[in-house]
A and B are shown apart, each in its own frame.
Chain A
């Protein structure tokens, strides 16, 4: 039972080591000018310097804060609105075509609109993040609610559950696997849009720091920022999988 996760961990670390080695080989061979493409050692030095005393720590904090705020906002609106639409057939029929129209819009298309309304502000970035991360959660909730086993709905009628109980005790748990998957996707989108938003609106954070480093040819700082972004993504997704495993432990035996 325990051996499998350990082996997975060892394999994962091995893969990472191989990747770093490859990176080192490519840079040592000078296939790309070191001005643009630093090796792992220089990146590591920049990372340590930036995190201890340098600006990287506070920039990381800003970006994570932005990402989480936007993600939470999107989750809240997405799940709440998705539930409202999902419970009623009529609401679904009414709103679904509009959602399908809005959904394929790239979040970046919203950026000029957000700028027009909110200017180059923190709130603008937040709105862009929330808007982009909203869709997967909204649609997963709507579809998760709609996909509830019809027999369970009959059970609720026979037992005499009221509407709130049906939503809370039947529809939401049965939509939970889909919602959790969308929360994970939404977190990735939030991170991407936080970085893009910071670059565009020059708000403090890793996005802005990466852009500044690239403009002044500080490639090691640029890569240090990218490594941190990767780590944030990895950490967030791992955290969510732990939550997922706990919340979906009732399916564990079938997986």
Chain B
């Protein structure tokens, strides 16, 4: 039952048409961040190509959320800078969407699921007549089609998190930042959404930075995996993932390369914890 459900999911086409060479979509240049005397991020540099998916892993408190907030323009680096398409990111930007880790606070409790998605459309001046169809489509895609009229309070944590993702997609972003978006989901829904997100990224050509605690999720989604180390947060290793796309929940996870990567990451993390 489980097997058929997974293997009959449509495969996601395309893979990466965007070139890896040329100007990066995001350039992180020697970024540091300190709260007072406390150094949180201690010098991170990374180029992210257009259409690339970066997984970020690292122990709790190492600065993953902080890094994402800087990429979203919500936190200002103490030194260094973030560039989007070659120009310095001065603040939040509609083309960079972020799914917050604390989903409960990021939704408007007085708006229904549909209303919350609609907010992103209202922000970019989408005509009122076109909104309902777009909203319905996005909710359908993310598996909330039946719950359009529900208020966030009436939804589970996982549903709220999916709602946040739908709102981000309504933004039509070039860059999608995700902060442990699937933490509150059961394994099956989680895998279905991993594929959904991969499909959306492939069709829209969006660039994604995906923070997760789950090593397998990091491998399954990513083109590269950035392993952060704590105190202060910095890049420990960057692991390339050469698994073919489109990826498949069963085939990819059985691939010897997948297993090798899992082993490699596991050893890396274990070292960090010693």
Chain A positions near chain B (C-beta within 8 angstroms): 149, 151-152, 154-161, 165, 169-170, 173-174, 176, 248, 250-251, 253-254
Tell me whether A253 and B94 are in contact in the complex, defined as CB-CB below 8 angstroms, given that A152-B105, A169-B122 are known contacts: no
Interface residue from B72, B102, B111, B167 paired with A151 (Cβ < 8 Å):
B102
Q: B92 contacts which chain A residues (CB < 8 A)?
A: 154, 157-158, 160
Complex CA–CA separation, A157 to B74 (angstroms): 8
Q: Which residue of B lies closest to A154 (CB)?
A: B74
Pairwise interchain contact A250-B110, C-beta atoms closer than 8 A: yes
Pairwise interchain contact A251-B120, C-beta atoms closer than 8 A: no
Q: How many chain B residues touch A (Cβ–Cβ < 8 Å)?
A: 28
Complex CA–CA separation, A149 to B109 (angstroms): 11
Q: Which residue of B lies closest to A173 (CB)?
A: B110
Pairwise interchain contact A160-B123, C-beta atoms closer than 8 A: yes
9 A-B interface contacts by CB (under 8 A) = A151-B106, A152-B106, A155-B106, A158-B92, A159-B167, A159-B171, A161-B122, A176-B110, A250-B151
Q: A169 contacts which chain B residues (CB < 8 A)?
A: 108, 119, 122
Pairwise interchain contact B123-A151, C-beta atoms closer than 8 A: no
Pairwise interchain contact A161-B123, C-beta atoms closer than 8 A: yes
Interface residue from A149, A151, A158 paired with B96 (Cβ < 8 Å):
A158
CB distance from A94 to the nearest CB of B (A): 25
Q: Which of A151, A156, A251, A254 has the most CB of B within 10 A?
A: A151
Interface residue from A154, A156, A158 paired with B97 (Cβ < 8 Å):
A158
Q: Which residue of B lies closest to A172 (CB)?
A: B110
Tell me whether A251 and B109 are in contact in the complex, defined as CB-CB below 8 angstroms, given that A157-B91, A157-B92, A160-B94 are known contacts: yes
Task: Check if B85 is an interface residue, CB within 8 A of chain A.
Answer: no
Chain B positions near chain A (C-beta within 8 angstroms): 72-74, 91-94, 96-98, 100, 102, 105-106, 108-111, 119-120, 122-124, 151, 153-154, 167, 171
Q: A254 contacts which chain B residues (CB < 8 A)?
A: 153
Q: A253 contacts which chain B residues (CB < 8 A)?
A: 151, 153-154
Question: What are the nearest 7 A-B pairs in CB distance?
Answer: A157-B92, A160-B94, A151-B105, A159-B123, A250-B110, A173-B110, A250-B151
Pairwise interchain contact A158-B98, C-beta atoms closer than 8 A: yes
Q: A248 contacts which chain B residues (CB < 8 A)?
A: 110
Other than A158-B73, A158-B74, A169-B108, give 15 A-B pairs with Cβ distance below 8 A.
Answer: A152-B105, A152-B106, A155-B100, A156-B123, A158-B171, A159-B119, A165-B122, A169-B119, A176-B110, A250-B109, A250-B151, A251-B109, A253-B151, A253-B154, A254-B153
Q: B153 contacts which chain A residues (CB < 8 A)?
A: 250-251, 253-254
CB distance from A250 to the nearest CB of B (A): 4
Q: Which residue of A lies closest to B116 (CB)?
A: A155
Pairwise interchain contact A160-B124, C-beta atoms closer than 8 A: yes
Interface residue from B110, B119, B124 paired with A174 (Cβ < 8 Å):
B110
